[in-house]
Chain A
Amino acid sequence: MHSFRTPTFLRVPLRLFAIFAISSFLLTGCTSQATRQAEQAVTSFYAGDYLAAENGLRPLADNTNNDFVLNNARLGSVALTNYDIPQAEAAFLKAYEVMNSVGVNNGGRSLGAALVSENIKVWKGEPFDRAMVNFYLGMIYYMHHDYENARAAFENALFKLRDYGESKDSKDTDKYRTIESRFVLANLMLAKSWQRLGRDDLAVANFNRVAQLRPDLAALANPELNAKSNFLLVVETGTGPHIVTDFNGSIAGFGPKPYQVGPISCPMVYLDGRSMPTSDLARPTEDLLALAQDRVWQSIDTIRTVKSVIGTGLIAAGAVEGVRGAYDHGSGQRQDLIAGAALVGAGLLLKATSQADTRAWELLPRTTFVIPLHLDPGAHDVSIQFPGGLSQTWRGVTLPPDNSELTLYMRCLPWHQGPFQWPPPGLNQPLPAPAPPAH
């Protein structure tokens, strides 16, 4: 019987390989607790327990690790839904600042993402994630009548989408227009911001852009209608895209596809119990599920695919070597078997580290409705109702006597239907208008 000894030339590489494999496993284990906590927070959000979701995400969002941007985006979503506006602004601003930075992943993170695990890189989101962070920031500033910053944020949402369309290898400049045309939400809000800033020329240009790109939104992009509006409903519904992998776990895409979940239902608006004629306004401005299908593959995906293919090749070569060893004799057999095992191990490791980065901002909606209305000043009860029973109600929404526009954000979820009382406790009220002189 042969004693099974490792050949000298293989000892050092195999030991190093074992250390590498064990360390990789341990590293992965360290992050899983935070991942579980984040998943728990997401579950709490969809169960309607926003306080638990916020409390769960807040410590994660303070940790400046590779999930810093993601956890702040999540926290922003939860806080916004819960009308904790200062928290939402702070969280989205943190995400915005890192998203707007370059070189965040330089050095070890890039190498680690390419060779070890893509999860090592700082998550900066897909371009539609970045656009939505900017949209939310813009909406928060718009709610507070800070139209300068709202304009900047909406511009930045379009700016990011331009980057989205700009393939690193492609000379196709038309790609930019195609991508921008899918995010008219930012164009629309940019137009409204310019209008509130008194730049009607730029407002009209952006309204025209909306109507040009989406003729079905022409009524919504009417400058006069928006100028008269003193009540803006921003309604979000559905669930955004999530990452899907193939059987091998190596290629990431986004799902579900729009046709798999059906068309977007349009809501009815009720004011003080009476239905409002909003059928030409309450139309989806965008569909994130459709947008996500346009994702431009990045170089890291190519690396991951190549790693997976090489891993498969190594496993096959190891199997051949092992079979050859089984029919060999003496020291040759030992070397063949060990070499086969090493090849299979290397292949498995490569395939294991080629798994897709499945981190995603799970709290995004599928679509956003923007509904500008002109109502009488005073208190109103406002309801939104979707076919199928999903609804949300706010009571005592008080419109100011001046021409300023009150923005009401509604995230329609099954466990978040109200009725809610306006103003919500977490809303940072705008500063009071200057009082008349007292003396």
Chain B
Amino acid sequence: MIPMTKIPLRVFLRSFALIAISSFLLTLSTGCASAVSAGTNTSLSADDLIAMTDKMSMSILSSPGVQQAIARDHRLKVVIQPVQNYMTGEILPAGQKQTFVARVRELLAAHAPDKFQWIMNKTDYYAVRAKELETANSLGPNPDSLQPDYALTARFDSLGNESSKQRTEGYLCSYELINLRTRETLWTDKYEVKKTAVKGFLD
């Protein structure tokens, strides 16, 4: 017979063992989650890329100003420039800077191939030439001999707020199609999104 005075100890030991084993099993079941798959952040994501570029490509095609220019020039010669990063405290690596405008180009090239002629920008052109050509004396066609008439540009801005509880980031992604000869903005549109990430115990 166990004395009554021993019952708290028994309860304590059983509880301790149960808690220990439960936490251990829980840790085993979830503790191996990848360091890159568990977290969330407020950065622009692949979903934003798709939503943003879908919206922009449709917006360009439906723009009356662009339609008039196409009717006048038949085919717009457009060069694309990488995104200008004006986001607060957020890095946009070179590949992503290209991706956010390149997808617009790809969508337009796929859905309206007869309306746009895409011209490589100078930086990419010289990078490819420097990599591929053997000598500087056979440079090929002069880039100035093929002049684009329009430039598709994008600029990303953001405004963030961080507290001990959460981080919030608001994005304004502006796209423009500029007439390079007249400096006229033929078309412009924006994509806005606000993101919030709630901090956890160890954040």
Contacts and interface: CB of A to CB of B under 8 A. Distances in A.
Contacts, number: 198
Contact of A24 (B24, B136, B142, B162): B24
A158 B84 CA distance: 21
Interface in B136-165: 136, 139, 141-145, 160, 162-164
A156 B90 contact: yes
Contact of B2 (A9, A166, A431, A432): A9
A72 to B, nearest CB: 10
Contacts of A101: 39-41, 197
B112 interface: no
Interface residues of B, number: 68
A156 B202 contact: no
B120 to A, nearest CB: 13
A108 B34 contact: no
A103 B38 CA distance: 7
A155 interface: yes
B6 A335 contact: yes
Nearest to B167: A102
Given A12-B14, A20-B20, A437-B142, A64 B36 contact: yes
Given A20-B21, A110-B200, A104 B35 contact: yes
Given A93-B93, A106-B200, A435 B36 contact: no
A65 interface: yes
Contacts of B63: none
A135 to B, nearest CB: 12
A100 B41 contact: yes
The secondary structure that dominates the A interface is helix
B36 A97 contact: yes
Contacts of B75: none
A342 interface: yes
Nearest to A162: B162
Interface in A143-202: 146, 148-149, 152-153, 155-156, 158-159, 162-163, 166-168
18 contacts: A12-B17, A13-B13, A64-B37, A68-B35, A101-B41, A102-B203, A105-B203, A109-B38, A112-B23, A116-B23, A148-B84, A158-B89, A159-B160, A159-B162, A339-B6, A434-B126, A434-B143, A439-B145
Given A112-B27, A435-B139, 12 more contacts: A9-B2, A14-B17, A23-B24, A64-B34, A68-B36, A100-B43, A104-B38, A108-B26, A111-B26, A120-B27, A156-B90, A432-B130
Interface of A: 7, 9-10, 12-14, 16-17, 19-20, 23-24, 64-66, 68-69, 93-94, 96-98, 100-116, 120-122, 137, 141, 146, 148-149, 152-153, 155-156, 158-159, 162-163, 166-168, 298-300, 332, 335, 339, 342, 346, 349, 431-432, 434-435, 437-439
